[in-house]
Structure 1
Amino acid sequence: MKQKIIYIILITILIIVPIFALSDFRLSLLSKFLVFSIVAISINLLWGYTGILSLGHGVYFALGGYSMAMYLKLQSQPLPDFMEWSGIETLPWFWKPFQHLPFALAMVILLPVTLALLVGIPLFKSGTKGVYFTIISQAITLIMSILFVGQQGFTGGSNGITGFDGLFGYSLSDPNLIKILYLMAVLILVAIYFIVRFMLNTHGGIIIRAIRDRETRLRFLGYKTDSFKILTLATSAAIAGVAGALFVPIVGIISPSIMSILMSTEFVIWVAIGGRATLLGPIIGALVINYAKTSFSESMPEYWWYFYGFLFIAATIIVPKGIVGSLLEKKWFINALNKIKNE
């Protein structure tokens, strides 16, 4: 028991240290990496545990981000500047409710979940699975990004939505807000980690893993696997939407580039390298890869993408189960974990 208290104290110190040790820029960067870890968890829930690979999670992430961005924009400008440029003189009806924070927060979850249901219900009910679902998720991503770029007057077009005054009475560059957002990112990441952990330990969690491993046998036993897949997709989309909402005040912008196929593919790479079907793998993968990306792009920007490609290939060949997945196969690592649990 005393050992566990010590571990909790050490983790708490590890969380607090960056607030004092890092500059505002680096702390904001770490906050963004933590947000990406939340997205990685949502991908892992769907791909790692249910066996459904989605290359369209950038859309759910962006929908949560746009919901928060619309609220922040209306706090700074009653009529957004990009609407004035497009000749729109009055605020569109679907923008007006976003003047209120409770509505915007509700849409952060409801919009991604609604789209997930519109995608998941017809596809899974018709028996779509495997690579076919992956391809369709890519197509939906492409359609949505084109739609948002084309609606310049309502979405800001390719430039997206930016120019926010601030949040909670602070400007986005205020050091106090940067610290608050960092702590929010940590708390939300921890909360979602334990929520997903709880879900996976329930009867439903066992079923979705059985869908990944032996879906046909599960159907023979009388389970409606399509319903479980729809529910998992909706839950995953909701988590991605929450991450998107947190991303906007940290970065200060949301644009259609966030929902691109490239961004969705990066999400998947983080999970693959960190270790899918593990709880910590997506978090480790997102943090390590984004730290490496930042470091290499600052020192050797022309070589970064070559390294990124090599890293993914090497991870696939050398450690196909990812960083955490490979460690879990080591006896010394398992013994260490068991020791911590027993103490």
Structure 2
Amino acid sequence: MNRLFSFFQDRHAGLGSILLLAIVLMVVMPLVFDIYRLNLAGRYLTYAFVALGLVLCWGYGGILSLGQGIFFGIGGYAMAMFLKIEASDPESTSIQTTPGIPDFMDWNRITELPWFWVPFNSLTFTIIAVLVLPAAFAFLIGFAMFKRRVSGVYFAIITQALAVVLTILIIGQQGYTGGINGITDLRTLMGWDIRDDSARYLLYYLNAVLLIGCLLIGRWVLNCKYGRILTALRDKEERVRFSGYDVANFKVFIFCLAAFISGIGGAMFTLQVGFMSPSFIGIVPSIEFVIFAAVGGRLSLVGGVYGALLVSFAKTMFAEAYPQLWQFLIGAVFILVVLVLPYGLASIYGRFGHRMRTPFERWLGDRKARSSASSGGFQEPLQEKRP
């Protein structure tokens, strides 16, 4: 019975924080922000997918990846390829030398759609690619690294190097990828104008719903047996290995799950903003994603979302107010948070959350205490007998 109350209390607190975040995202922000700020918030929410994946991968799995921009970019480019094919119909590209193909291909004298672009004529295939390709690429990286027990700073450097390689590859293959400019001028999704204000509202809500869904998936993973083993693996990897578990398989799974979630964020970014470029794949965005998770709290799923929103909004406000100094201000904020709150902003609740408990949570805590006392877990001190 004690375990039941403990589990329900922890689970209730986690779902409560997710519910509060859902209210903030789907009620408060649409009422407070105008369409411009709400569109910015939607863009920042796409970063929160990557921060959430990093909380799972780094905070609970102990796997620091400095190349999460890879998976964000793969998901984004997959969606951008579908949208670009739709925007390149023969009527819209009639002035090109070869109508019916993306404009950057025509500029580079490519006369037909490359074979790996052809499947992206289908929205169904595109959605599957957004979900599968990032996870598949993460599986290749993770299987090759973790089976050889590559971890720690070495794994972080390798993922960072892979982000640089992929960026160079995309820029170098300009005729197939759009090069440094990326894939731009994305206007419609199945004939639906994604640049319209009503479309931006709908995309924002879709973004929020998908993010809440990913939070619930992450919460479920951490609450099951796998989550407990993952935490033990982070703290004492050798002890888990000697207990008979295949440590590499656990690491591969959580790394793939983080990539899966990041790919969804990349696809939503393309829909929200209307373009995708290699500038969101390299070292700088990947490090920014780590900052989001660190500031929000690398041991808190919801904290990663708040970190992405707060840091991104702070970056925008600083850039508007102090165009020459905003990078230093963002760096100062990050240093301050790390020095004062090593576990991010989420640790504030850990310190003072007991003062903000709801009556229902207090009831659960009291019920747990009474159950523990009745089962012998707590005993009143014996009164001294006087002669």
Match of 1:254 in 2: 276
Alignment partner of 1:144 is 2:166: yes
Distance 2:271 2:80 in 1: 8
- Give 1:334 deviation, angstroms: 2.6
Distance in 1 between residues matched to 2:257 and 2:241, nearest whole Å: 22
In the superposition, the TM-score normalised over structure 1's length comes to: 0.94
So what's the TM-score if we normalise by structure 2?
A: 0.83
Unmatched 5+ stretches in structure 1:
none
Kindly indicate whether the alpha-carbon contact (under 8 Å) linking 1:281 and 1:325 is maintained by their aligned counterparts in 2: no
| Contact 1:161-1:254 within 8 A present in 2 as well | yes
Aligned partner of 1:216 in structure 2 is 238
Residue of structure 2 in register with 1:207 after alignment: 229
Name the counterpart of 2:77: 66
Structure 1 match to 2:192: 170
Which residue of 300, 316, 321 maps to 1:278? 300
Alignment root-mean-square deviation, CA: 2.0
Q: Secondary structure at the match of 1:297?
A: helix
Please say if residues 51 and 292 of structure 2, whose CA atoms lie closer than 8 Å, have aligned partners that are also in contact: yes
Q: 2:325 aligns with which of 281, 297, 303?
A: 303
Cα distance change of structure 1 residues 10 and 315 upon mapping to structure 2, 3 Å threshold: closer
CA distance in 1, matches of 2:150, 2:25: 44
TM-superposed CA distance for 1:171, in Å, is 2.0
1:26 aligns to what? 37
**Structure 2 unmatched ranges of 5 or more:** 1-14, 89-99, 364-387
Tell me, in whole angstroms, the C-alpha distance in 2 between the residues paired with 1:170 and 1:178: 11
Q: Contact (CA 8 Å) 2:297, 2:346: kept in 1 or not?
A: yes
- Structure ID, larger Rg: 2
CA contact (8 A) 2:85 2:101 kept: yes
The one of 116, 126, 130 aligned to 1:104 = 126
Q: 1:318 aligns with which of 340, 346, 367?
A: 340
Partner of 1:155: 177
C-alpha displacement at 1:277, in angstroms?
A: 1.1
Structure 2 distance, partners of 1:94, 1:293, is 37
Partner of 2:139 in structure 1?
Answer: 117
* Superposition deviation, residue 33 in structure 1: 1.4
Partner of 2:5: none
Secondary structure at the counterpart of residue 345 of structure 2:
helix
Structure 2 Cα separation of the partners of residues 108 and 340 of structure 1 = 41
> Taking structure 1 as reference, are residues 220 and 109 closer, same or farther at Cα in structure 2, changes over 3 Å only?
same
Percent of paired sites with the same residue: 40
- Partner of 1:173, secondary structure, is coil
Contact 1:142–1:261 at 8 Å: present in 2 too?
yes
Amino acid at match of 1:96: V
Residue 334 of structure 1: aligned partner: 354
Once the two structures are overlaid, the 10-residue window that deviates more, 313-322 or 217-226, is 313-322
Shift of 1:122: 1.2
Report the secondary structure of 1:323's partner residue: coil
Q: CA contact under 8 A between 1:276 and 1:325: conserved in structure 2?
A: no
